[in-house]
Amino acid sequence: MKAGSVQDQQETKQYKVLPILFAMLLSGFIGLFGETALNVALTPLMTLLEVGPTTIQWLTTGYLLVLGILVPVSGMLLQWFTTRQLFTTSLIFSIAGTIVAAIAPSFEILLVARVLQAVGTALLLPLMFNTILVIFPIEKRGAAMGLIGLVIMFAPASGPSISGLILANLSWHWIFWISLPFFIISLICGLLFLPNISKLTKPKIDVLSIILSTLGFGGIVYGFSSAGGHGETGGGWTSPVVVTTLVIGALSLLLFSIRQLRMKQPMMDLRAFRYPMFTIGLILIFICMMMMLSSMLILPMYLQQGMAVTALTAGLVLLPGSLLNGFLSPVMGRLFDKFGPKWLVIIGLAIVAIVLFMYTGITPTTALSTIITMHVFMMIGISMIMMPAQTNGLNQLPPEYYPHGTAIMNTLQQVSGAIGTAVAVSILSAGQTRFLSNVTNPESPENQLAGFTSGVQNAFVFALVLAVIGLVISFFVKRVKVGSQQGQQGPMH
């Protein structure tokens, strides 16, 4: 009788897979689209809201900061609240934030709206991963994770292009008005079809862990974001605020890690790192996100400032690669299910390394068609790395580690974005300054452009070094055998 009821339960889960996926993926897409949609609008918003570049940057930094603080706690939330409760709360925050942003009359209210939106996205991302790990059997997980990959890669990549189109025809408020109906559709779909699928263990809430996690991840994200702000926004690495927040962040993370390893019921179970494929997958994702997000920041900057194209053109140049990356993610998922991760990841990193090597020679005379082609190949490479590394890593974890594994993975994705963009912008500025200090007339437009180009090339050298490190690591990837992950205590294998 009992076995039958478990089987029935399994079948109902299978039966509702499509509407559950639809609700999760649609809300995840719009949430992550919001992460980058405002980037193109920051310059006009400075004039409209009468604030400087340092202040306007908070619309992005504040958003990333909330994600960096909340995502680590999500592993615990998944064990305290039901799937439906978390999904509904996440969507209510997203809808509230979107409405407030759409009608925001001032910078302060827009910032509050961004924080509300970030809370919604931070609750949703780990929930989306955890749900897919539970409702799909291990042999079909690659294709399902490929769909998540489509959302996670394509949404932020398409943000600047779509909002560029909106801004060309409508006011910035419409970036939010257009997002609103999609959130409402997701909420209705989730309420109708989403069952409670996670097992509630209600671990003891450890306040000290939450404080250390907040100071640790918050400090790292804030420190790096402040150090690498654009132009006058950047505090630079020597700024007291940057140094202090990074030191506090690093010390808090160290204490947080020690505490988690000593606790019986940790908030974020770092014992997941005992599984070698999970750890390797995590390192590859970290490197991949740093490469992708740093080049996604540097390339549009160079197109607009170095090649003098409009924001809309810059968005459109990046669109084919972003679209292809999104569509290829599920294809890579199916290839992963069939052939495993190793060669997908190795070939992907080799392609990315070649493209980044070509980017190090970029100049103002480089044809736009060449940049589009290189970006397309880079995005093909990234789609071959992200999803296989992620799925293979999570597949090695036993089910009780799923909430922790997804929380660790999502947290590191947010942190890697902040670190990658900050380091890239710092390298760019340093390269530009070094070039201009060696010329006789640093003020001339020709030298300014040459200095900027030199800085951009240096930033791509940084991304290339990351790709080469990733390529070396990728040779250690092994396919996790179905059913063997339960008993594997990592290093023993």
The gap from C-alpha 319 to its chain's centroid, in whole angstroms, comes to 18
4-54 pLDDT, tens per residue? 433 334 444 454 777 888 888 888 888 878 777 776 677 677 777 777 666
Secondary structure of the chain in the HEC alphabet? CHHHHHHHHHHHHHHCHHHHHHHHHHHHHHHHHHHHHCHHHHHHHHHHHCCCHHHHCHHHHHHHHHHHHHHHHHHHHHHHCCHHHHHHHHHHHHHHHHHHHHHCCCHHHHHHHHHHHHHHHHHHHHHHHHHHHHHCCHHHHHHHHHHHHHHHHHHHHHHHHHHHHHHHHCCCCHHHHHHHHHHHHHHHHHHHHCCCCCCCCCCCCCHHHHHHHHHHHHHHHHHHHHHCCCHHHCCCCCCHHHHHHHHHHHHHHHHHHHHHHHCCCCCCCHHHHHCHHHHHHHHHHHHHHHHHHHHHHHHHHHHHHHCCCCHHHHHHHHHHHHHHHHHHHHHHHHHHHHHCCHHHHHHHHHHHHHHHHHHCCCCCCCCHHHHHHHHHHHHHHHHHHHHHHHHHHHHCCCHHHHHHHHHHHHHHHHHHHHHHHHHHHHHHHHHHHHHHHCCCCCCCHHHHHHHHHHHHHHHHHHHHHHHHHHHHHHCCCCCCCCCCCCCCCHHHC
- What is the domain class of 274-493 according to CATH? mainly alpha
Burial of 41-59, coded b for 16+ CB within 10 Å and e otherwise, reads bbeebbeebebeebebbbb
Per-residue confidence (pLDDT) for residue 430, from 0 to 100: 79
Per-residue confidence (pLDDT) for residue 53, from 0 to 100: 64
Listed residue (167, 454, 186) closest to 306, CA to CA: 454
Q: How many CB atoms lie within 10 A of CB 353?
A: 22
Choices 1.10.10.10, 3.40.50.2300, 1.20.1250.20, 1.20.1270.10: CATH for 13-202: 1.20.1250.20
Per-residue confidence (pLDDT) for residue 7, from 0 to 100: 39
Torsion of CA 74, 221, 384, 16, to 10 degrees: 20
Please report, as a single letter, which amino acid is at residue 150: L
Q: How many CB atoms lie within 10 A of CB 368?
A: 14
Return the domain boundaries, the chain.
Answer: 13-202, 204-266, 274-493
Sequence-separated (6 or more) residues with CB below 8 Å from residue 5: none
Q: What is the pTM of this model?
A: 0.76
CA angle 371, 295, 434 (to 5 degrees): 100
Per-residue confidence (pLDDT) for residue 232, from 0 to 100: 42
Residue 2: both structure tokens together = 């009992």
Q: Phi and psi dihedrals of 492, rounded to 5?
A: -60, -30
One pLDDT digit (tens) per residue for the chain, 493 residues = 333 433 334 444 454 777 888 888 888 888 878 777 776 677 677 777 777 666 777 777 778 778 777 877 777 777 788 878 888 999 999 999 999 998 988 888 989 998 998 888 888 887 887 777 777 777 777 777 777 777 777 777 777 777 777 777 888 888 889 889 998 988 888 888 777 776 776 767 778 888 888 888 888 878 877 776 544 444 567 778 888 988 999 999 899 888 888 888 777 788 888 888 899 999 999 998 888 877 877 887 788 777 877 767 777 887 888 788 778 877 888 888 888 888 899 999 999 999 999 998 888 888 889 999 999 999 899 888 888 888 888 888 888 788 788 888 878 877 887 778 778 877 887 788 888 888 777 778 888 888 888 888 888 998 999 999 999 999 988 887 754 444 443 443 3
In this structure, are residues 360 and 461 in contact, taking their beta carbons and an 8 Å threshold? yes
Per-residue confidence (pLDDT) for residue 492, from 0 to 100: 36
Per-residue confidence (pLDDT) for residue 32, from 0 to 100: 79
